[in-house]
């Protein structure tokens, strides 16, 4: 399911208007050799002038209209990612092999949901027919077949073409063609907000298949000043994990990154501490509003699917205030907030590094580990008091600083890390 999320996010929107002339920067066509050679350098051709002719508010309508724009037949030929957004180019194709210079492109804006149509300021020419350049059409079809069967490098494809006794293009041509194929099958490398929005709309319908992903909830804010998006993806079977759970585990995992953002996980665990996800979320930030969105998405989806008001009371997480505040804002109360033991030790070890005496550092760490195993809160409180008295008696400034940090952070503020704090519930988020 995780791989599914990072796949292609569909295509975008647009509306009608006419505005001034725009001049495109020159770009190289992928896969085709050519150009002027001077001083051992390939010279870039001068760019075509384009004029801005139409603005759409519906991306699907834009693409449906553009293929028959001005009663000509237009064929998609390439995609460029720019700072302005994704440019999808079309060429006039009145006949296969034609060399008509007329071009148009759609600009899917990165900063908003508009899609703009640009037309090259050049006349159609249907008299000339171009010679075959680049990879032959028949060979391209074979390469596409090989790519879909797992041959994703020029070397592997050349080897297969050789076995089939098929003419072999240059490795550089195959490499360029593979870039085009990846964009076609998996979408552009940089995803714009309009792509995300259209994908969310397309995937918002709850499917009959219990294992098919759908977007349970999403929020997209389009604005140059502060654009953001949040989306929560799940399946019917994953949402069943909520039905018998009273505790929720939540955190961001940096082991899975999408467009530079960590995937946010939410779920529960069983008695063997195996993690059972409710779904995954993608957000620009990891703030209270983001975790509030995730928890609310879970609650709304359970209500929609099973007509149940889902209100867990126990949270397993790190010491992040954003997670706890988001939980309270949705479910109103936290009866128990279990501190993930892994995150506790990670933070403690950072503070222990200030103590240079290795023997003393190891003894401090061992005392804390013993206290973590205590299964009674009264005993734990007494152990904390004895621990504080023992190490304060050393009258060592560095140790005193550590004890003050430990008592304030891991007893007064966040004491839910010992085994007896919530009997029968996990003491770690490691499964997540």
For the segment 367-420, what is each residue's pLDDT rounded down to a tens digit?
999 999 999 999 999 999 999 999 999 889 999 999 999 999 999 988 888 988
| Residue 38 shares a structural domain with residue 151 | no
Same domain, 234 and 331: yes
Q: Which residue has the tokens 């809160």?
A: 377
Cβ-based burial of 227 (10 A; exposed 0-12, middle 13-18, buried ≥19): middle
Domain annotation covers residue 4: no
Confidence of residue 131 (pLDDT cuts 50, 70, 90): low
Co-location of 367 and 330 in the same domain: no
What number is the average pLDDT over the span 182-197? 78
Q: 346 and 232 in one domain?
A: no
**Domains identified in the chain, total number:** 4
Cα-based distances in Å from 101 to 122, 367, 425: 7, 78, 68
Residues 335 and 347 in one domain: no
Residue 70: inside a domain, yes or no? yes
Domain that holds residue 81: 9-120
Residues 317 and 354 in one domain: no
**Mean of pLDDT values over 96-124:** 85
Residue 380 lies in a domain: yes
Angle, helices 321-331/288-306, rounded to nearest 10 degrees = 40
Residue 82 above 50 pLDDT? yes
End-to-end, the C-alpha distance of the chain in Å comes to: 15
Do 81 and 183 form a contact (C-beta atoms < 8 A)? no
Specify whether 361 is located in the same domain as 322.
Answer: no
Average pLDDT value for residue range 264-268: 91
Task: Flag whether 198 is in a domain.
Answer: no
Residues 6+ apart with CB under 8 A from 392: 399, 400, 403
Q: Are residues 263 and 390 in the same domain?
A: no
Q: What does the alpha-carbon distance between residue 51 and residue 24 come to, in Å, rounded to a whole number?
A: 9
Contacts of 356 (CB under 8 A, 6+ apart): none
Element (H, E) at 185: helix 171-186
Residue 429 included in any domain = no
Pick the last residue of a domain from 285, 304, 339.
339
Residues 333 and 371 in one domain: no
196 within a domain of the structure (yes/no): no
In a domain, 218, yes or no: yes
Same domain, yes or no: 348 and 236: no
Q: Of 65, 93, 120, which residue is a domain's last?
A: 120
Same domain as 64, residue 35: yes
User: Which of the given ranges, 52-61, 83-92, 222-231, 290-299, has the highest pLDDT on average?
Assistant: 290-299
What confidence tier does 27 reach under pLDDT thresholds 50, 70, 90?
very low
* Phi and psi, residue 405, nearest 5°: -60, -50
Question: Where residue 30 falls among pLDDT bands split at 50, 70, 90?
Answer: very low
Per-residue pLDDT reduced to its tens digit, 294-320: 999 999 999 999 999 999 999 988 878
Sheet strands side by side (includes 85-92): 21-23, 49-56, 115-120, 103-109, 85-92, 74-81
The angle, 0 to 180 degrees and rounded to 10, between the axes of the packed helices 171-186 and 154-163 is 110
Q: What pTM value is reported for the model?
A: 0.56
pLDDT at 224: 62
Are 21 and 52 contained in the same domain?
A: yes
pLDDT at 353 > cutoff 80: yes
Across the range 249-269, mean pLDDT stands at: 81
Q: Average pLDDT for residues 238-251, to the nearest whole number?
A: 90
Which segment of 143-157, 219-233, 239-253, 344-358 scores lowest on mean pLDDT? 219-233
Contact 192, 109 (CB under 8 A): yes
Q: Is residue 129 part of a domain?
A: no
- What pLDDT, on the 0 to 100 scale, is given for residue 59? 74
Instruction: Give me 268's structure tokens.
Output: 């529960």
């Amino acid at each position: 399911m995780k791989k599914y999320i990072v796949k292609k996010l569909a295509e975008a929107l647009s509306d009608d208007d006419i505005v001034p002339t725009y001049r495109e920067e020159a770009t190289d066509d992928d896969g085709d050799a050519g150009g002027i050679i001077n001083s051992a350098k390939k010279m870039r051709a001068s760019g075509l002038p384009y004029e801005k002719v139409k603005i759409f508010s519906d991306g699907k309508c834009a693409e449906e209209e553009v293929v028959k724009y001005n009663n000509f037949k237009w064929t998609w030929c390439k995609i460029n990612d720019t700072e302005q957004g994704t440019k999808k180019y079309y060429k006039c194709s009145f006949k296969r092999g034609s060399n008509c210079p007329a071009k148009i492109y759609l600009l899917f804006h990165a900063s908003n949901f508009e899609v703009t149509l640009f037309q090259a300021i050049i006349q159609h020419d249907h008299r000339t027919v171009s010679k075959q350049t680049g990879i032959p059409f028949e060979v391209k079809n074979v390469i596409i077949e090989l790519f879909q069967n797992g041959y994703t490098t020029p070397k592997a494809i050349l080897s297969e073409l050789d076995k089939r006794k098929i003419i072999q293009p240059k490795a550089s041509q195959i490499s360029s063609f593979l870039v085009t194929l990846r964009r076609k099958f998996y979408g552009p490398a940089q995803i714009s907000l309009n792509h995300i929005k259209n994908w969310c709309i397309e995937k918002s319908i709850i499917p009959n298949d219990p294992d098919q992903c759908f977007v349970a909830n999403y929020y997209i804010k389009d604005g140059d000043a502060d654009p953001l998006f949040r989306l929560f993806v799940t399946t019917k079977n994953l949402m069943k994990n909520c039905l018998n759970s009273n505790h929720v585990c939540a955190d961001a995992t940096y082991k899975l990154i999408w467009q530079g953002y960590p995937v946010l996980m939410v779920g529960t665990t069983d008695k063997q501490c195996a993690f059972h996800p409710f779904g995954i979320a993608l957000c620009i930030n990891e703030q209270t509003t983001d975790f509030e969105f995730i928890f609310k998405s879970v609650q709304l989806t359970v209500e929609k699917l099973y007509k149940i008001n889902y209100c867990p009371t126990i949270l397993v997480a790190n010491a992040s205030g954003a997670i706890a505040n988001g939980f309270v804002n949705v479910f109103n109360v936290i009866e128990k907030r279990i501190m993930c033991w892994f995150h506790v030790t990670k933070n403690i070890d950072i503070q222990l590094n200030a103590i240079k005496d290795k023997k003393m550092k190891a003894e401090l760490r061992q005392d804390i580990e013993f206290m973590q195993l205590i299964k009674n809160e009264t005993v734990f409180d007494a152990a904390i008091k004895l621990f504080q008295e023992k190490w304060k008696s050393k009258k060592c400034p560095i140790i005193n600083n550590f004890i003050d940090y430990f008592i304030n952070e891991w007893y007064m503020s966040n004491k839910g890390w010992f085994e007896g704090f919530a009997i029968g519930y996990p003491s770690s988020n490691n499964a997540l």
